[in-house]
Amino acid sequence: MLDLRRIRTEPEAVAAALERRGPGASAVVGRILELDAEQRRASAERDDVRSQVKAISKQVGRLRGQGRADEAEAQMAESRDLGEREKALAADADRLADEIRDLLLATPNTPSVDAPDGEGEADNVVLRTEGYDASAYAEHQRVPHWDIGEQLGLFDFARATKISGSMFAMYRGWGARLLRALVQLSLDRNADAYEEVRPPTLVLTETMVSTGHLPKFADEAYHVERDDLWAIPTAEVPLTSLHRDEVLDGADLPLRYTAYTSCFRREAGSAGKDTRGLLRSHEFDKVELLAVAADATQAIACQEDVLARSEGLLRDLGLAYRILDLCTGDLGNSAARTWDIEAYAPGVDQWLEVSSVSWFSDYQARRANIRYRPAPDPVDGGAAPAGAAKPKGTVVAHTVNGSAMGWPRTVAAYLETHRRPDGTVGIVDVLRPYLGGAEAITPR
């Protein structure tokens, strides 16, 4: 969430930044300032009354010691009245603090100055397109992946629906093997710098709040009400909370993690969208990369690293892709800047989002209370001297995350791109070691 102190000291700047997300987005700043002024007045009056109560208590003790019981009792009556006033003021201060926190939790992040302005997805900026030539795709590649899957026995959507309902997928045979191979390839590719984690799939409400998925996106999430647990929509959620309420050593940053998990989304807003095949589903597999960084400079370097790794994977899979710089009107609530990666799927003739690489500035880390103690300053560009004192105080960290990759749409683009004239699907070199050296996916 946003820093309340920043809203107090730079209200115009914060309001102008929020207004870039859309007209009226800045109205919350004025309301937060109003409540903050009320809360501070109530807290100050509470503290003043508390001081009076303490002073009276001392006076009562002196009066009793002097045998002036009647005067002491009068002072006690005044103290009781003040005590009731203190309780009422404390309740007001707490109520106002809760209102402020609720508003802060619902207020989106301020966009990066580098994020392009725009009202919605039509204003997103295509930074570059790699490997795409519309005329290079033959007729046999213009077959949608659900037809390919039916011909080769890769999916069983009918039985998935029988078991779980609509918008669930079941991979079978070569389909299941291909999915597993892609996951393992991604984990292996990132093992050099990212520690692999297998986090829980069900998390606490506080864990969802830490990333900004709650309260904003409650309708999109699966909630196990009996236990007050949430099915994760992305591994970003548990990975961000690995260091919740911790103070890290700045010398250790950035910390990098990767996780392969199932992810769950209700897709409540998917009416009218294409949900055939693997294009949109309630449960899907994804490999996530996440970094906890010290500041904007370090975080942006991490964001660039995640993007480069995801691009490298798509190149080696032989897929055409493009990079979008999301405009301020299309940014996720928690993001300061986001680069989306879309793979081209010739069978459905669509660019499919397969990864979203975001820098959240200190927005998520503030919600999760992830702080770090800065390392001592180096001397002349070298290391800090041995025994050097660490700077006092702590600083809120920055977070970055991105997919490497979201697999259903990647599988769709892969099958359509690598379909051969005879109906089989070629297996690219990087996947063959994971598929027993096979060169093609053939019918069962």
Q: Which of 35, 278, 305 is nearest to 146 (CA)?
A: 278
H/E stretch holding 290 reads strand 283-293
Using alpha carbons only, give the angle 398, 400, 402 rounded to the nearest 5 degrees: 170
The residue written with tokens 């302005």 in the block is 117
Q: Which of 436, 443, 435, 437 is nearest to 183 (CA)?
A: 435
Give the CATH architecture of domain 121-441: 2-Layer Sandwich (3.30)
In the chain, list all ranges with CATH 1.10.287.40.
4-106
Omega before 391 within 30 of 0, i.e. cis: no
**DSSP class of residue 365?**
H
Query: Rounded to whole angstroms, how far apart are CA atoms 310 and 354?
Result: 9
Structure token digits, residue 119: 């009202």
Task: Return per-residue pLDDT of the chain as tens, 444 residues.
Answer: 999 999 999 999 999 999 999 999 999 999 999 999 999 999 999 999 999 988 988 887 887 888 888 887 888 888 888 999 999 999 999 999 999 999 999 999 999 999 999 999 999 999 999 999 999 999 999 999 999 999 999 999 999 999 999 999 999 999 999 999 999 999 999 999 999 999 999 999 999 999 999 999 999 999 999 999 999 999 999 999 999 999 999 999 999 999 999 999 998 766 667 889 999 999 999 999 999 999 999 999 999 999 999 999 999 999 999 999 999 999 999 999 999 999 999 999 999 999 999 999 999 999 999 999 998 776 665 556 666 556 679 999 999 999 999 999 999 999 999 999 999 999 999 999 999 999 999 998
In the chain, list all ranges with CATH 3.30.930.10.
121-441
Q: What are phi and psi of 213, to 5 degrees?
A: -70, -25
- List residues bridging with 321 in a β-sheet: 130, 343
pLDDT given at position 65 = 83
Is residue 427 helix, strand or coil? coil
Query: Rounded to whole angstroms, how far apart are CA atoms 157 and 244?
Result: 39
Provide DSSP, 196-262. Answer: EE---SEEEHHHHHHHT-TTTTGGGSEEETTTTEEE-SSTHHHHHGGGTTEEEEGGGPPEEEEEEEE
Contact of 190 with 289, CB cutoff 8 Å: yes
Is residue 112 helix, strand or coil? coil
Q: Does domain 4-106 have CATH number 3.40.50.970?
A: no
Omega before 170 within 30 of 0, i.e. cis: no
Contact of 405 with 310, CB cutoff 8 Å: yes
Query: Rounded to whole angstroms, how far apart are CA atoms 22 and 217?
Result: 19
Q: Which of 270, 289, 297 is nearest to 281 (CA)?
A: 270
CA-based torsion, 188, 194, 199, 202: positive or negative = negative
Q: Which amino acid is at 199?
A: P
List of E strands, 90-198: 125-130, 195-197
Q: What are phi and psi of 74, to 5 degrees?
A: -65, -40
Q: Tell me the whole-structure pTM to 2 decimals.
A: 0.92
Query: Rounded to whole angstroms, how far apart are CA atoms 114 and 331?
Result: 12
Structure token digits, residue 204: 């606490």
CA-based torsion, 212, 218, 221, 222: positive or negative = positive
